[in-house]
């Protein structure tokens, strides 16, 4: 049975309706398809490979701030026996997932909510394309909340790369209705930035951190962590 938990909504994720909005301009649709399906699907294979290496039989995992759940969908194709839960704060995304992703447990919840424990306990929590939209204060809450519901965390964020910056700039014009999203405190990360976060985040250990490369460019920075 699919489960929905509505928690307090208080961050920008509620504005990401364009991901499932059929009324976008044709140019916007083409651009979103390229970024969200072609580029991100290729990049997410690196994240999927890392997650699967950590999996054992009957593991429970959760995609924390899942959007269209691209990463989870790839994992399911490779490991259909793994129990996967999707969580997102956006009602339109949840409605889309309920219709399209029948093999997952689906939860509507705010990843920054102090009552996040209500959604259950998992072996691994992971995310891709979410962490970079939070400011420094929110990012620490996000990491702590991942550890409230799981024993191990894996996150992929955009690495500092001119191509990502060009993409974000273009989308300011292709997604004119969503300028608030693309002009938020969008972060590009390098290893030193991640290490600095964990230096000030007492009680949590950074286990591994690495770049993924596509066409010779650093694309994602993937880091793994757990409680000390």
- The CATH number linked to 207 is 3.40.50.150
* pLDDT score at 22: 60
CB neighbourhood size of 4 (10 A): 11
Residue 203, C-beta contacts closer than 8 angstroms, at least 6 positions apart: 227, 228
Reported as a single tens digit per residue, the pLDDT across 42-94 is 667 889 999 999 987 778 999 999 888 889 999 999 999 999 999 998 888 89
Has residue 107 been placed in a domain?
A: yes
182-185 own/partner pairs: CB under 8 Å, 24+ apart: 184/12, 184/133, 185/133, 185/134, 185/135
Q: How confident is the model at residue 202 (pLDDT cuts 50, 70, 90)?
A: confident
Has residue 33 been placed in a domain?
A: yes
Q: Find the mean pLDDT for residues 163-188.
A: 61
Helical spans, DSSP H, in the chain? 26-33, 40-54, 70-78, 91-100, 136-149, 162-174, 179-182, 191-200
Q: What are phi and psi of 192, to 5 degrees?
A: -65, -35
Has residue 29 been placed in a domain?
A: yes
The closest of 190, 197, 188, 193 to 211, measured between CA atoms, is 190
Query: Number of structural domains, the chain?
Result: 1
Has residue 218 been placed in a domain?
A: yes
Has residue 5 been placed in a domain?
A: no
Tokens linked to 95: 């409605």
- Tell me the CA end-to-end span of the chain in Å, nearest whole number: 35
Q: How far apart are CA 205 and CA 163, in angstroms?
A: 31
Among the ranges given (1-10, 52-61, 136-145, 202-211), the one the predictor scored with the smallest mean pLDDT? 1-10
Half-sphere exposure of 147 (CA within 13 A, CB side): 17
Has residue 3 been placed in a domain?
A: no
> Which pTM was predicted?
0.81
Has residue 148 been placed in a domain?
A: yes
* Residue-level length of the chain: 228
In which domain, by residue range, is 163 found?
Answer: 12-227
| Local structure of 39: helix, strand or coil | helix
Q: How far apart are CA 216 and CA 212, in angstroms?
A: 9
């Amino acid at each position: 049975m699919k489960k929905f938990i509505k928690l307090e909504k208080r961050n920008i994720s509620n504005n990401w309706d364009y991901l499932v909005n059929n009324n976008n301009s044709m140019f916007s649709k083409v651009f979103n398809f390229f970024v969200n399906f072609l580029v991100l699907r290729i990049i997410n294979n690196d994240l999927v490979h890392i997650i699967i290496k950590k999996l054992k039989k009957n593991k429970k995992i959760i995609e924390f701030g899942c959007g269209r759940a691209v990463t989870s969908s790839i994992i399911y194709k490779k490991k259909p026996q793994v129990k996967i839960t999707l969580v997102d704060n956006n009602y339109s995304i949840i409605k889309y997932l309920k219709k399209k992703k029948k093999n997952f447990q689906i939860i509507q919840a705010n990843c920054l909510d102090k009552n996040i424990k209500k959604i259950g306990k998992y072996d691994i929590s992971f995310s891709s394309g979410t962490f970079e939209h939070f400011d420094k204060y929110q990012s620490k809450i996000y990491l702590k909340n991942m550890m409230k519901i799981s024993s191990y965390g894996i996150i992929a964020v955009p690495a500092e790369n001119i191509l990502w910056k060009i993409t974000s700039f273009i989308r300011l014009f292709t997604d004119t209705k969503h300028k608030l999203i693309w002009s938020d405190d969008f972060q590009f990360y390098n290893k030193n930035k991640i290490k600095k976060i964990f230096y000030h985040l007492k009680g949590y250990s950074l286990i591994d951190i690495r770049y993924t490369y596509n066409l010779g460019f650093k694309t994602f920075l993937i880091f793994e962590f757990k409680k000390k």
